[in-house]
Amino acid sequence: MAETTTSNAVTEAGHAEEREQPTDENRARSAFLPPSGVPLPSQQTEEEHPTSEFAVPEGLRKIPAPPEEEHSTSEFAVPEGVRTALPPEPGSAFTPPDGIRTINDLVRPGAPWQDRMRSMVRMPLGERPVPERPRRTDEEDVDAGPSAPRVLDLTLRIGELLLAGGEGAEDVEAAMFGVAHAYGLDRCEPTVTFTLLSMTYQPSLVDDPITLSRTVRRRGTDYTRLAAVFRLVDDITDGEVTLEEAYGRLAEIRRNRHPYSKGALTVASGLLAGAASTLVGGGWLVFLLAAIGAMLGDRLAWVFSKREMPEFYQFVAAAMPPATMGVLVALFAPDLGLEIRASAVVTGGLFPLIPGRALVAAVQDGLTGFYITASARLLEVVYLVVGIVCGVLLVLYIGSELGANFNPDGLDHRTRPSLQLLAAMLLALTFCLLLQQERSTVLLATLNGGVAWLVYGAMADVGGIDPVAATATAAGLVGLFGQLMSRYQFISALPYITAAIGPLLPGSAIYFGLIGVAQGDMDQGLANLTRAAALALAIAIGVNLGNELARLFIKAPGRETPLPGRRAAKRTRGF
């Protein structure tokens, strides 16, 4: 028994010696054993061991851990002292991250509704501010607001009158959006093309959208009605008109008769043609003959219109009497010993037919990004000009067969500044009558036309500048002054612009181009027609540029800073 106890003690001593002296295998397992002669660190109990190998060295103070309630739920917590934005309102899928903005955050209060709505309609749907307050009607309370289909219907009716009156597609969209926004429909998308208007409203992402459309089938020129519609939109956007009152005023606008009768329009066409013939060097007899030809053409066009003939044939019919007067002058004036220029007679008679209003609207739509509408308007201009060409060429061809001699250089280019300035103002005045303008706008539009001709004459006749550049500059001033006048009256700029560009229309270039084609000189004819197209584009681009400069730099009534520019669509640059 003693031997067994002794052997067990030896065995335990041997194991203890093995534990004290690590073997090569133990050294391989741990690379952090101290060298020989260095004492091992004191053994720590299990309770003293830290839970992490990255323990805090002795002598350093531990940072107390915050209580569990103060821990952030996100590893990307905002540092102290940094202010965070307010969280979006719950339950709204359209609320932007920085909160809901108002219209005053985009455009100053008191700015024209065209600027306010134009800034909003170009914005993405999720960034548009909501209406400031709902509008109340007789049938609905303030909380419910007006019926969405009725608001959309009123919006489309207003847009139809504006588009049919010749307003640009961008301004029509701004007016439609302004009406819908004023009555509480903030998530709307207006769409305007040449003949179709549509309006889509979606209450929220989970509701079905409501879409209404309307087709523009008849177009008429009545700037008095156009101004009345602009005043209605201005009152609606200011919150002064309920939905039922707006319907009543719109029906009254539709029932209003034109301010000038058909007889007055016929006389105005004659005076316009006579003034145009004076601009190109005609005398009092040329004035009379051009006026007679234009009045006969106007009456013949009315006959075709009553027979429901297309507008193309109406222009063909209206262009034939002035050309006939020119043929008669070329045939009989030399035998009678009269010095009458047939070219001046025909040129004056063509002025009332040139579609300057449609051309300006077409180029404006193209420059503002409405390419489909611009293409349709340009195609309309082409058809109307082709109608004029067909009527004039038919008569000139018959006159050439009868022996009439048309001199392409028959216009007198001698400057008569005073007489030409009066003729230009008379031409603008008669254009105002043909456009059915309000009497309050006639004087300013007439003065604007006189300024346009004065600038053109000073640059082209006195300064020797190219006529295309002079025309563009004069048209730019027309657009600038017209936009200034419209801003102070809060109406459309068309009554101040369309009539004022009348003296700049390329009537003589069109006539000389037609003469060249009729006489077989195609090179000369095409050159003159190309020059006429260049002058027409210079007028349209100049007017649009003047409008844009006015929107950027001219102050609104009662404001101290310029109006903000329109937010344009982002497009690629050259690729």
Q: What is the largest CA-CA distance in the chain?
A: 169
pLDDT at 209: 85
Place of tokens 């090569």: 24
Domain boundary among 185, 220, 255: 255
Residues 249, 283, single domain; the answer is: no
Highest mean pLDDT among 110-114, 381-385, 409-413, 568-572: 381-385
Highest mean pLDDT among 78-87, 337-346, 406-415: 337-346
Residue 393 belongs to domain spanning: 262-553
Residues 148, 271, single domain; the answer is: no
- Considering the domain boundaries, does residue 488 fall inside one? yes
**Better-predicted residue by pLDDT, 73 or 427:** 427
When the pLDDT of each residue in the chain is averaged and rounded to a whole number, the result is 75
Domain boundary among 214, 229, 255: 255
pLDDT at 122: 56
Mean pLDDT of 299-317: 90
Q: How far apart are CA 358 and CA 498, in angstroms?
A: 10
Domain count, the chain: 2
Residues 153, 291, single domain; the answer is: no
Residues 175, 313, single domain; the answer is: no
Residues 248, 293, single domain; the answer is: no
Say if residue 511's pLDDT is above 80: no
Place of tokens 């993405």: 124
- Considering the domain boundaries, does residue 23 fall inside one? no
Q: Nearest to residue 512, comparing CAs of 523, 497, 501, 502?
A: 523
Q: How many CB atoms lie within 10 A of CB 311?
A: 15
pLDDT at 75: 53
- Considering the domain boundaries, does residue 406 fall inside one? yes
- Considering the domain boundaries, does residue 398 fall inside one? yes
Residues 286, 159, single domain; the answer is: no
Say if residue 117's pLDDT is above 70: no
Residues 400, 525, single domain; the answer is: yes
- Considering the domain boundaries, does residue 452 fall inside one? yes
Q: How far apart are CA 222 and CA 103, in angstroms?
A: 32
pLDDT at 269: 92
- Considering the domain boundaries, does residue 43 fall inside one? no
Residues 321, 470, single domain; the answer is: yes
pLDDT at 520: 73
pLDDT at 366: 84
Residues 278, 307, single domain; the answer is: yes
Domain boundary among 255, 282, 307: 255
Which tokens hold the place of 107?
């455009």
Highest mean pLDDT among 141-155, 527-541, 555-569: 527-541
The answer to whether 340 and 289 have CB atoms below 8 angstroms apart is yes
Residues 250, 285, single domain; the answer is: no
Residues 354, 231, single domain; the answer is: no
